[in-house]
Every structure is written in C-alpha cells, then in structure tokens.
Amino acid sequence: MTREFAARYTEAWCSQDAASVAAFFSPDGSLRVNDGAPAMGRDAITAVVQGFMTEFPDLEVRMDDLRVEEDCVVYHWTLTGTNTGHPVSISGFEVWKSGADGLIAESQGDFDSAEYQRQLSG
C-alpha cells in the first residue's frame, strides 16, 4: 500500500461518505477499533465509520505518517471534529494487512479511548 493509497483513504474519511472508506477494504475485510469486536465485511465497516461521521459532522482526518513494515503498513492519523459543542483532537494509528486484491484485508486501529472520552465530556 502506497502513500497515495493512504492519502485517498484519508480523503475518504473526510468525505462524510462512510461507504467510500469501506471501499478501501477487501469485501470480507475487517476493521477493529481498540479492543472492540472487529467489524467484518464492508457493510459492518461502513456502519462503524458512519458512527464516527455522525458523532462529528465536521470530521477531519489528517495522515501524520505511513510506515511500510515487513508484513504490514502502519497508518498514523489525527482526527479532529466537534461533538455537541465539544472540540476533539485525538491521534492514533491503524495496522493494515493487505489482501491479494491490494485492499485492506485487516485493520487494527488504536487510540487513547480515555483521552477521547475526556474530550467528549468537555
């Protein structure tokens, strides 16, 4: 996965079109956020992404770094947005494993959920 792929993925997160993010995943791909159960398949991934987009109507995601490692790609990001008047800025990363189709077969996302909740609370 290239920097151009990651840049387009970032743009999809900023689009308010959750299905456009899910399109970066293999049809049977998975997205896991922190220690939650993985969302399996594009419909489930779309639902997870839509949750963030609904919580933050002004959602912006910035790609901070992209590291290609031997068996994965690590995508570092910062999310900013406003939820019920509370500004939020949280950084995290996703560890991607690619599928034979060149899309994301598995993504393990991680961010500081305690800090996220603190910011949501104001």
What dotted CATH number matches 3-121? Answer: 3.10.450.50
CA distance 114 to 93: 16
Is the pLDDT higher at 45 or at 2?
Answer: 45
How high is the pLDDT of residue 1? Answer: 65
- pLDDT category, 122, cuts 50, 70, 90? confident
Q: How many residues does the chain have?
A: 122
Using a pLDDT cut of 70, give the percent of the chain over it: 99
Using a pLDDT cut of 90, give the percent of the chain over it: 93
Query: What is the residue whose two structure tokens read 């690619």?
Result: 98
Q: Cβ contacts of residue 11 below 8 Å, gap of 6+?
A: none
Domain definitions of the chain by residue range: 3-121
Dmax (CA) of the chain: 44
Question: What does 36-48 look like in DSSP terms, one character per residue?
Answer: SPPEESHHHHHHH
Residue 80 amino acid letter: T
| Per-residue pLDDT tens digits for 17-40 | 999 999 999 999 999 999 999 999
Residue (of 35, 119, 112, 115) closest to 83 by Cα position = 119
Write down the pTM of the prediction: 0.93
